[in-house]
Amino acid sequence: MLCLFLDALLHIEPNWSPLFTGEKVTFICDLKEGNNTDWNYAFNRNGHWLTNSIPENRFTSPSLTTGDSGEYQCVAFQKIRPNVIRESNKVSLSVSEKPKAQLSKDSPVGGRVTLTCSVGSSSSSSSPSSSSSSGWKFFWYRDETTSKPLKPGDDVLLQGGSISPSAGGVYWCRGGRGGRGGRGDPVYYTEYSHPVVTNRAVVTLQHDWPEIYSGETITLTCGIEGGGGSEWEYEWRTPDYYTPPNLRGSVMTSSVRGDYSCKGRLKDGASTTEWSDAFTVRTS
């Protein structure tokens, strides 16, 4: 005679949601009473068995894919009386594609630039020593994604969900989670965010003449403070144009008086510097 009881408890570690492709989870089949070693266990998804009967009450998945979404259940078989079976509750698991961190920039007038990193709808802590309610820790990189993550002493101010860098540069971020007990180095990282530029653009005159004469041609150069070795494209705003022209080089020659300003754009990304302060050309 088969004796079936619905008094096993299935839970998943880590228990955050959503889960993403590449992560791993452990399914734990817990009996509400008695010794777990007196039983064998099997785990299934949507009614299809993932394991044979095994003596361990836990099963760690391979790296998850979106096909692993579904309803999971465990069944315990008593060793000395195999006809005594305990079934667990069903637990739904949803697996989404690996996320990409999102990086935004706030440039207050006269203040320090603030960068904020988030994963999905989360925008919690950006310090590697603290995490959000969904388990994410945030890591910051300057100039190259291959560099070591920034720390509070690296000329950046870590505060809440943001950093305020004191030096210009190209910044990235990414999220990580899954260290032992939620602590330690993560075992799973998001994709890097797109780069964001905090450098300033500056217009300089090739020859520092106090005045130029009408009809003379001057040469202006657009420079990027602390360019970090990045490759730039340049855009100019000149008296000849009411709206910004197409991208040009870093050097501008002109014989027209008025205000000139420029900005830099990363060649491998859409992020740009702010417009430089206007450089006024006066003629006599």
Residue 125's Cβ-count burial label (10 Å; 0-12, 13-18, 19+) is buried
Which of 7-16, 81-90, 176-185, 191-200 is the least confident region? 176-185
Residue 6 has pLDDT above 70, yes or no: no
**pLDDT (0 to 100) of residue 127:** 43
pLDDT of 268 higher than 90: no
The pLDDT value recorded for residue 64 is 95
Residue 122 has pLDDT above 80, yes or no: no
pLDDT digits (tens, 9 = 90+) for 34-70: 677 889 999 999 999 999 999 999 999 999 999 999 9
Residue 236 · residue 263 · CB < 8 Å: no
Is residue 255 a contact partner of residue 213, using CB atoms and an 8 Å limit?
Answer: no
pTM metric for this prediction: 0.74
Q: Coil, strand or helix: which one is 37?
A: helix
Say whether pLDDT at 284 is over 90.
no
User: Is residue 89 pLDDT above 90, yes or no?
Assistant: yes
Count Cβ atoms within 10 A of the Cβ of residue 115 and give its class: 0-12 exposed, 13-18 middle, 19 or more buried: buried
Residue 178: which of 192, 193, 189, 194 has the closest Cα? 189
